[in-house]
């Protein structure tokens, strides 16, 4: 009975995952998918992670991330037979001097949330550089979503040809939506 259920479960997930090989599905279930937060220093990557995890805003002094950090989350998205799906969110350091460290982690990322600060023009101009690095180091089928963080109100336009959303780690605007959108 239990074995039957497992077979049905795998068949169901296989359908959902567009007939990927069984080994891929099992490793996907066991290890979860990996989502990375990338973008210039100070755009709000750590705050986005904390907002998503704890529902709080890290106000006050800004402490730059050193290297890389990750936490596991359970997200509701294969709701019928597999109600919980594990994914890891990796918060990377935006500072230039850590780039060679973070590049090494791109290869097995399933999704990248690429952030800029809507109040900082340079962080927006650098999106092109980030996309070039993503194309160089990440898998070809990686999901990329661009997030304009620190918004006060939404204006939805962008020019980079990847899905885009405006967010605020401060108010929580679209934060959960951004993570669940790339987790799907
Ligand atoms: N007003 C406002 N401030 C924000 C928002 N998100 C982050 N901040 C502020 O921006 C500063 C930098 O945020 P972090 O999350 O530490 O930035 P980071 O991208 O992780 O920076 P690195 O670790 O250096 O890569 C902090 O002072 C935050 O309080 C937001 O949505 N609105």
- pLDDT: which is higher, 172 or 22: 172
- Write the residue with the smallest CA distance to atom 3 of ligand 1: 150
Tell me how crowded residue 42 is: count the other CB atoms within 10 A of its CB.
Answer: 16
**DSSP bridge partners of 159:** none
pLDDT of residue 130: 95
- Looking at the predicted structure, is the pLDDT value of residue 97 above 60? yes
> What was the ipTM of the complex prediction?
0.98
Report the distance separating Cα 90 and Cα 68, nearest Å. Answer: 7
Distance 162 CA to ligand 1 centre (A): 23
| Ligand 1 contact via 45 beta carbon (within 6 Å) | yes
**Which DSSP symbol is given to 96?**
G
64 alpha carbon, distance to own chain's centre: 19
pLDDT, average across residues 80-104: 77
Cα–Cα distance, 135 to 106 (Å, whole number): 10
Quote the mean pLDDT of the chain. Answer: 79
Contact (Cβ atoms closer than 8 angstroms) between residue 38 and residue 102: yes
Q: Are 35 and 91 in contact (CB under 8 A)?
A: no
Pairwise CA distance, residues 141 & 73, whole Å? 22
Longest Cα separation, the chain: 59
Residue 66, ligand 1, Cβ within 6 A: no
Among 46, 60, 114, 174, name the best residue to mutate to test ligand 1's pocket (greatest count of ligand atoms within 8 A of Cβ). Answer: 46
State pLDDT tens for residues 37-58. Answer: 999 999 999 999 889 888 888 7
**Centre of ligand 1 from the C-alpha of residue 42, in Å:** 5
What pLDDT was estimated at residue 81? 45
pLDDT band at 140 (very low <50, low <70, confident <90, very high): very high
Q: Exposure pattern of 59-80 as b/e (b: 16+ CB <10 Å)?
A: eeeeeebeeeeeeebebeebee
Ligand 1 near 96 CB (within 6 A): no
Query: Do 93 and 68 form a contact (C-beta atoms < 8 A)?
Result: yes
**Which phi-psi region, left, alpha or beta, contains residue 32 (left: φ > 0; alpha: ψ -120 to 50)?**
left
Q: Is the CB of 43 under 6 A from ligand 1?
A: yes
pLDDT digits (tens, 9 = 90+) for 4-29: 555 555 555 555 555 555 555 555 55
Q: Which atom of ligand 1 has the smallest separation from the CA of 51?
A: 6
Instruction: From the CA of 57, give the closest atom in ligand 1.
Output: 29
Q: Which two tokens stand for residue 132?
A: 């070039």
Ligand 1: does its nearest atom lie under 6 Å from the Cβ of 172? no
How many angstroms separate the Cα of 48 from the Cα of each of 2, 4, 132? Answer: 40, 41, 23
Overall size of the chain counted in residues:
184
**pTM attached to this predicted model:** 0.78
State the distance from the centre of ligand 1 to the C-alpha of 43, rounded, in angstroms.
5
């Amino acid at each position: 009975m239990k074995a039957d259920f497992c077979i049905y479960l795998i068949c169901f997930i296989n359908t959902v995952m567009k007939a990927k090989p069984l080994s891929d599905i099992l490793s996907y279930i066991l290890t979860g998918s990996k989502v990375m937060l990338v973008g210039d220093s100070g755009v709000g990557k750590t705050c986005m992670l904390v907002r998503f995890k704890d529902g709080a805003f890290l106000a006050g002094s800004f402490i730059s991330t050193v290297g890389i950090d990750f936490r596991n989350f359970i997200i509701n998205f294969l709701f019928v037979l597999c109600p919980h799906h594990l994914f890891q969110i990796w918060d990377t350091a935006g500072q230039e001097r850590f780039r060679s460290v973070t590049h090494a982690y791109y290869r097995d990322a399933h999704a990248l949330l690429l952030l800029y600060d809507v109040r900082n023009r340079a962080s927006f101009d650098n999106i092109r550089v980030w996309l070039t690095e993503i194309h160089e180091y990440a898998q070809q089928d990686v999901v990329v979503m661009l997030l304009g963080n620190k918004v006060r109100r939404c204006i939805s336009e962008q020019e980079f040809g990847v899905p885009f959303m405006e967010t605020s780690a401060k108010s929580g605007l679209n934060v959960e939506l951004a993570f669940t959108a790339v987790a799907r």
